[in-house]
Amino acid sequence: MTKAVLMQGNQACAEGAVAAGARFFAGYPITPSTEVAEILAKKLPEVGGTFIQMEDEIAGMAAVIGGSLAGAKSLTATSGPGFSLKQELIGYASMAEVPCVIVNVQRTGPSTGQPTSPAQGDIMQTRWGSHGDRGVIALCPTSVPECFTLTIEAFNLAEKYRTPVVLLLDEIVGHMREKIVIPAADTLTIVNRKKPTLPPGEFLPYKPDADGVPAMPAYGDGYRFHTTGLIHDYTGFPTGSNDVTEEVIDRLHTKITRNLDDIIRYEAVQLEDAETVVVAFGGTARSAYAAVEQARAQGCKAGLFRPITLWPVPEQQLLDLAATAKTIIVAEMNYGQYVKEVKGLVGDKANVISLAKWNNEPITPRELLAAITAAR
């Protein structure tokens, strides 16, 4: 049975995690994500799951990796300072191919910054925060209902591709309240990790299947396997081989890049004849909806492209935009991060303008409308 309720974005994340089958949370409270932990502290034990508050953010991420290796769908929630502390172990989870979800409700930074102010300043950290080369998946909701659905999608992608997935909220989306219709559990698509089909004596824990993703037993399933952050061969044990190193790092990318049609999500609003296109995501996209409507009412051929998958970048979709639009305005609550990705991709095919804001306040529809009007 479906039901309509008034719900906060952070609460919708927690509800979505439980609906996705998450049964383990480890983390440390930090504004503006704390409600995710508070709600799961109550809900997880009710469904046979486990909540644990760790001594710090690093330990929280380590426990999440352990919970996932033991077979439980696992997540943590944090904000900028905690996200910084988790980076080494996010890299470990990438190398060891441990599926998990990291909810990052962004606030103004760097350092402690402004704990209760909205920002979108962790975009590049999400992609490059952990050292080395690896593929990254990051999803960005712009509404309370999407906090629910994209949390489920984050778990599905993590399980399917054996990788950590980041759910990038901002304080606006995390703390707003909206009507949401919770779908019936039997209508949801839930993905679980592949289990081995070979007996323990024949199973190689890091030998990929045809899709580039190895099967994953849980500790306790009767399979013995070694887990390490070092470059490892199919057995899971470290190796210094040049060929293996190249193969492993390449596969951490290609298991994602070969499946872009499955991973990339976006929303297109009035783009059919748009000459000026706003690229916006998260809380900023909410202002963009209004600005585009207002611009249309004034005779401006404006549209909105909302990347839901921030990483990997929806390259083909942005290139298609550049082929038809004269101007692309990238609106974001930071000093100008995602605009560099768009400019680097589009080049001189379209005029790319940055509308960046970093003073604790959201970008308003009026500011966006002024930018659209000026671009005519």
What pLDDT shows up at residue 1?
A: 57
| Inter-CA distances, 226 with 63, 90, 155, 161, 219, Å | 17, 18, 24, 19, 10
Exposed, middle or buried, 54 (CB in 10 Å: 0-12/13-18/19+)? Answer: middle
HEC string of 128-175?
Answer: HCCCCCCCCEEECCCCHHHHHHHHHHHHHHHHHHCCEEEEEEEHHHHH
CA dihedral 129, 132, 134, 140 (to 10 degrees): 10
Contact 90, 135 (CB under 8 A): no
Average pLDDT over residues 283-301: 98
Helix-, strand-, coil-residue percentages of the chain, each rounded to 5: 40, 20, 40
pLDDT digits (tens, 9 = 90+) for 110-134: 999 999 999 999 999 999 999 999 9
What pLDDT shows up at residue 164?
A: 98
Average pLDDT over residues 211-237: 96
Query: And the tokens for 101?
Result: 């979800």
pLDDT digits (tens, 9 = 90+) for 87-116: 999 999 999 999 999 999 999 999 999 999
111: left (phi over 0), alpha (psi -120 to 50) or beta: left
Average pLDDT over residues 223-241: 96
| pLDDT level of residue 3 (50, 70, 90 thresholds) | confident
Q: Which CATH number fits domain 267-374: 3.50.50.100, 3.40.190.10, 3.30.390.10, 3.40.50.920?
A: 3.40.50.920
Token pair 């995710």: residue: 36
Report the mean per-residue pLDDT for the chain.
97
Q: How many residues does the chain have?
A: 376
What pLDDT shows up at residue 2?
A: 73
User: In terms of DSSP bridges, do strands 309-311 and 137-139 run parallel, antiparallel, or are they unpaired?
Assistant: antiparallel
Nearest CA-CA partner of 312 in 131, 162, 139: 139
Distance from C-alpha of 350 to C-alpha of 353, rounded to nearest angstrom: 10
| Inter-CA distances, 352 with 215, 295, 299, 336, Å | 43, 18, 21, 12
Euclidean distance between the first and the last CA atom of the chain, given in angstroms as a whole number: 49
Judge whether residue 317 has pLDDT over 70.
yes
Dump the DSSP string for 31-80.
Answer: TTTHHHHHHHHHHHHHTT-EEEE-SSHHHHHHHHHHHHHTT-EEEEEE-H
State the span(s) of the chain assigned CATH 3.40.50.920.
267-374
Judge whether residue 252 has pLDDT over 70.
yes
What pLDDT shows up at residue 294?
A: 98
Domain over 3-187 is classified CATH 3.40.50.970? yes
Cα 250 from chain centre: 21
Query: And the tokens for 235?
Result: 């057995």
What pLDDT shows up at residue 376?
A: 83
Judge whether residue 278 has pLDDT over 60.
yes
In this structure, how many other beta carbons lie within 10 angstroms of the beta carbon of residue 191? 17
Give the residues across from 352 on adjacent strands: 328
Low-confidence winner among 1-15, 215-229, 231-245, 336-350 (lowest mean pLDDT)? 1-15
Instruction: Report pTM.
Output: 0.97
Nearest CA-CA partner of 106 in 89, 136, 129: 129
- Identify the helix (H) or strand (E) that includes residue 216: none
State the span(s) of the chain assigned CATH 3.40.50.970.
3-187
Which percentage of the chain shows pLDDT scores above 90?
Answer: 99
| Inter-CA distances, 82 with 9, 29, 90, 135, 255, Å | 19, 9, 12, 21, 28
pLDDT digits (tens, 9 = 90+) for 16-74: 999 999 999 999 999 999 999 999 999 999 999 999 999 999 999 999 999 999 999 99
Distance from C-alpha of 329 to C-alpha of 287, rounded to nearest angstrom: 13
What pLDDT shows up at residue 6?
A: 97
| Inter-CA distances, 118 with 36, 291, 376, Å | 17, 19, 29
pLDDT digits (tens, 9 = 90+) for 151-193: 999 999 999 999 999 999 999 999 999 999 999 999 999 999 9
